[in-house]
Amino acid sequence: MSLVGVKCLVTGAGGFLGQRIVCQLLEEGEKLAEVRALDKAFSSETLQRFADLKSTTPLTIMKGDIRDMSFLRKAVQGISLVIHSACVIDILGLVDKPVLWDINVTGTRLLLEMCLLQDVKYFIYTSSLEVTGPNRKGDPMCNGDEDSVYRVTDGFPYAETKREAEKSVLELDGLPLKDGSSFVTCALRSMYIFGEGSPFLLKHVDEAILNNRVFLRISRKEALVNPVYVGNVAWAHVQVAKAMRNPAKAKQVRGRFYYISDDSPHLSYADFNHELAKELGFGVEPRLRMPLTMLYCYALLLEIMSFLLRPFVRYIPVINRHLLTVLNTPFTFSFQKAQRDFGYAPRYSWEEAKQRTSRWIAEVTPLRTTYLRSKEV
């Protein structure tokens, strides 16, 4: 089934993943009726990237807040497919929990409500691996799938908001629409997403530059994970959107979540960063700077300091126990169910994804080096 003639809304379209989804929709061989790109702000680089595609599919840029119901009404009017990738990603606790909840959970529920009011038929939610874990105990998972049993525990606010938002999306699958059809929903839980333009990878590159082009090691070698290339995550959204419009395949995917990974190698986070940049002369620290138990104690001390200083000053530690658990827990998942149910297959091989990402690192390294040195002066 194709997306020809479909009107699609992509939220978070100015973000790292969202703009890739928009680009792939515009690049579709069969013309969509319209793609609406929604976000609070768009960089000039993102807008230029959209313009450079010279797509025959009409693109409408919509700047606004998903918590604004009047704006949402205008955004979804006449739309048949929504890809909801907008959210606040917060791994350090930089964002107050009420704000995080308001955007990630309340914003999603308001969008769902408006979709039902406007008879939007298909809704794809960009979820996260953190919905699953790792849990507080750091229980490992090796090559898990959607049927794997894993003890989920309450923990970091970001994970809680993504879990609650995903639940809201999947619970509404099957609700009747005015035209006699039913609401079709699905969620995609991607692994850690890498690729050119990744703000998290850029942060690691900056740290390595300041450390004589050596990546810091905060993850032990044994903590294997399987990151996924941003282009493949975007492609998974396009593929599941096509499947949802196919009555036979829609029965398979509706109301379900899927893990999205690819053929990227299973490595620790630190070793994966090194794999992307080693041909550019970057190294990686051979071992943790201190035993993991001591790192946890250090993180706990920083968290206590943050709590004690809260009445006087806002201090956010650069590391916390949750992040250490994420970085040091073996946690890998297969994409075989997505492959079986809606034909997901990575669009970019590991070699191509690595080449594209390494080329981007090579481009930004001189600029970042100059910028970081200017800050030191």
Catalytic positions = 158
What separation in angstroms does the CA of 36 have from each of 33, 68, 76, 103? 10, 17, 9, 20
Please give the single-letter amino acid code of residue 264.
S
Give the three-class secondary structure for 8: strand
Nearest partner of 61 among 103, 16, 26, judged by Cα? 26
Please give the single-letter amino acid code of residue 78.
G
Joined tokens for residue 299:
């993180």
What's the rounded Cα separation, in Å, for the pair 363 and 369?
11
Pairing type for strands 7-11 and 59-63 reads: unpaired
What's the rounded Cα separation, in Å, for the pair 234 and 191?
13
Output the CA angle 168-41-257, nearest 5 degrees.
Answer: 25
DSSP state of 176: B
Beta carbons of 195 and 353 less than 8 angstroms apart: yes
Beta carbons of 156 and 129 less than 8 angstroms apart: no
Give CB contacts under 8 A, 24+ apart, made by 318-322.
318/92, 319/218, 319/295, 320/92, 320/93, 321/296, 322/91, 322/136, 322/155, 322/156
What's the rounded Cα separation, in Å, for the pair 366 and 377?
17
